[in-house]
Amino acid sequence: MMKTMIMKYNYYFLFLYISFFPSPSKAQVTDVQRALFEMEDFISTYSDRDVDVEDQLERISNQKKMRFQPPFSINIMSEADLLSLNLLNENQIAAFLKYRKQIGSFTSLYGIQAVPLWDSLTISRLIPFLILDKNSLTLPDKNETWLFKNRWESVIRISPVYEKKGTDWPGSNQYLGLNFRYSPIDRLKMGVSIEKDPGETLFKQGKPEFLSWFLSFQSKIKGGPQIFLGDYKTSWGQGLLNASYGSFKSIQTTDISRNPLQLSAHKSFAENGFYRGMIFTFPVAKKLTWIPMISFRNRDASFTKDSIPFVSQFILSGYHRTNSERLNQRFAQVFHIGNRMQWQREAVILGFNAIYQLIKPGQSKADDLYNQFYYSGENYTGLSVDYHYTLSGWHLSGEIAYSKAVASIVQLQHSMDKKLDVAILGRYYPKKYQGILAQAWGENSVNRNEQGVYMGIIYQLSQHWKCAIYHDIYMHPWVRYQINSPTKGTEQRGRIAYDKRKGMKFYFEWHSKKEEETTSTSPGVHFYVRNHYRIHLEIPYKEILWRLRFDLGQNQIEEKKLSGYAIWAEGWFKQISHSFTFSARIGLYNTPDYEVRFYHFEQQVTGVYGLKPYYGKGRFIHLLGKINIGKTLKWEIMVRKKWGLDKSITLTNQLKLG
């Protein structure tokens, strides 16, 4: 009791000190932090899908840098090329063209630093799309040497959990994560992650509870080989056959297609959603690249207890605390082998994909009607073809896949003029299609039993005002889990936003979803309706960036109507001293229950965001501080305290060395 009171007073006095004794520094929130705010919009705040937010943000950031078109040469790129990147305004494009005409041509890629109106954030976003000439290397031309200093980083993350320890938990109720990264040169990277969840032991029979490692190497020659060993993630085409990454609707309403080949090391503490083995890219001809992969993992799975056991479903929680959880630990042996052949010529990309999976023991589903077309057995094979074509502001992409049935997805994107962008997406996933490794665009977590058409637009009303809207119509022709009838639905989301560079930011947003459902208590089909409204405001002032958000939600389930609200205010304090930054958020929420819930992003010590649902009635405070101790050691601490029905306190520490 005394310890709890002391902690409360410490947080209270710390908040008062920060509020009333700020540093005289006039600096605002950094460009990196502002970029993180913008990244929130890429992940739907209205979806309760279990996603690895840290990994998704990294993937999306990389995808934005890897557009479908090849890099542009800064000495020959046109005004249309600059517009197609959607990263520059008209004044910045005019300034670049005028400056290039004055100097004749650039002799170094770093010469763009002198372009008027191009700040450091703009340049950092553009660099991945630019080369000096078509024969340039993928990296700036430097003399590479093996550097053993300032090329490594280690992280220790500790999260005390203030909850009662389970009676059969073998370990402490504390989270612990260890992360080690080393990169002697830019093209060679390696890392190791060790983690234990609350209730687990760090080591089991002499081995870490969870151990992940990777090693990646990329050739210096543009388009040359690259290899990933250990744990890696990959996505081919539009994700209809093989994908480690999920797709979701966002307020970036015209950003609907994937990069045809996504490949990265698995760096987060997530215990699922990755392959373990080897994958590499190898140019077999001038325009042809071969991407083979192989993977073998023991995965957690629940199983039938018959004389011949079968996997009933894979378990994604990653918890190994109780006897039953430990019984399911690494029960299934899963082997993958796959091949992708990618042909690319200027603005055209074609991919031919094949994937094979072997599960020991085999997988089986219950005899329920909705399970009738789900995958079962030991062996799985899938094939697909994907295509990507870009021409004068038009972009066409899609994928056709086969496994027991043919499924397809097609996307068309077009910049009609400088103010209007349009995107259309159609998908057809029949009930018999078995894309067990798929994570393509769709309503379901599995790409089957779904048909739909999506349309999104972005219209630049004026220099500072912009409107974005999408509308999605879909149907499920076959029964689903707890839905005993074919159903259909519609979804719409829109935003009207005001954004002044380094100034105030404001938007009003609405989200509406209407979907048919069935229940065991009520005969026939009825509609589930959900409406959500949001007002968001950001005001930069001296050394503080103020953020304010208000959410209003309304649900209707048959004749039952529910409503609730949530509000929070946040202050980002930049450079309280030369070595300390701080942010604080306070808020409250009032909803009937989980049926009316709000998802809020909160910055974590990882430097990105975590997605937290709020429902019931309560209030909360969220604090995050970062301290630089010398040149190599950084300490970050995050505290979240909730009062109300769901009382909780979370304290996370992270030490970064390197």
Can you point out the beta strands (E) in 348-486? Answer: 348-363, 377-391, 394-402, 406-415, 420-429, 450-460, 465-476
Name which of 52-56, 100-104, 319-323, 468-472 the model is least confident about.
Answer: 52-56
Average pLDDT for residues 187-211, to the nearest whole number?
A: 90
Confidence at 590, pLDDT banded by 50, 70, 90: very high
Confidence at 360, pLDDT banded by 50, 70, 90: very high
Average pLDDT for residues 3-31, to the nearest whole number?
A: 42
**Phi, psi (5° rounding) for residue 163?**
-135, 160
Whether the Cβ atoms of residue 624 and residue 605 lie closer than 8 Å to each other: yes
Closest C-alpha to 401, from 379, 428, 374, 431 = 428
pLDDT for 580 = 78
Within 8 A by CB and 6+ apart from 587, the residues are 566, 567, 568, 569, 600, 614, 619, 620, 621
Q: How far is CA 13 from CA 19, 23, 265, in A?
A: 10, 17, 42
Q: What is the tens place of the pLDDT at every residue in 596-648?
A: 988 888 877 766 677 778 889 999 999 998 888 877 788 889 898 999 887 88
Q: How many domains does the chain have?
A: 1
Whether the Cβ atoms of residue 464 and residue 492 lie closer than 8 Å to each other: no
199 part of a folded domain = no
Q: What is the tens place of the pLDDT at every residue in 234-250?
A: 999 999 999 988 777 88
Residue 606 DSSP code: T
471 part of a folded domain = no
Confidence at 127, pLDDT banded by 50, 70, 90: confident
Residue 644 DSSP code: E
Closest C-alpha to 275, from 245, 318, 246 = 245
492 part of a folded domain = no
Report the C-alpha gap between 539 and 517 in whole angstroms.
42
pLDDT for 25 = 39
Please tell me the pTM assigned to this model: 0.81
126 part of a folded domain = yes
98 part of a folded domain = yes
Average pLDDT for residues 539-558, to the nearest whole number?
A: 89
pLDDT at position 70 over 70: no
Whether the Cβ atoms of residue 209 and residue 200 lie closer than 8 Å to each other: yes
- Per the structure, the complete domain to which residue 61 belongs is given by 43-138
β-partners of residue 177 are 157, 195
Whether the Cβ atoms of residue 282 and residue 290 lie closer than 8 Å to each other: yes
Give the sign of the dihedral formed by CA 495, CA 497, CA 502, CA 503.
negative
β-partners of residue 236 are 261
Closest C-alpha to 425, from 403, 446, 441 = 441
275 part of a folded domain = no
pLDDT for 576 = 58
248 part of a folded domain = no
pLDDT at position 356 over 60: yes
105 part of a folded domain = yes
Residue 244 DSSP code: S
pLDDT for 150 = 52
pLDDT for 573 = 81
Closest C-alpha to 585, from 604, 571, 575, 599 = 571
Whether the Cβ atoms of residue 431 and residue 403 lie closer than 8 Å to each other: no
What is the share, in percent, of the chain residues with pLDDT greater than 90? Answer: 37
Whether the Cβ atoms of residue 265 and residue 214 lie closer than 8 Å to each other: yes
Please give the helix or strand (H or E) that residue 72 lies within, else none: strand 72-73
Whether the Cβ atoms of residue 566 and residue 551 lie closer than 8 Å to each other: yes
Own/partner contacts of 354-357, CB < 8 Å, gap of 24 or more, are 354/381, 354/382, 354/383, 355/241, 355/242, 355/380, 355/381, 355/382, 355/437, 356/380, 356/381, 357/381, 357/436, 357/437
Question: Measured in Å, how far apart are the chain's first and last C-alpha atoms?
Answer: 38
- Tell me whether strands 210-218 and 207-208 are parallel, antiparallel or unpaired: unpaired
pLDDT for 140 = 34
Report the C-alpha gap between 203 and 293 in whole angstroms.
30
Report the C-alpha gap between 499 and 508 in whole angstroms.
12
pLDDT at position 450 over 50: yes
Report the C-alpha gap between 70 and 93 in whole angstroms.
19
Which of the pair, 416 or 133, is modelled with greater confidence?
Answer: 416
* Side chain identity at residue 310, one-letter code: F
pLDDT at position 138 over 60: no
Which of the pair, 66 or 520, is modelled with greater confidence?
Answer: 520
pLDDT for 382 = 97
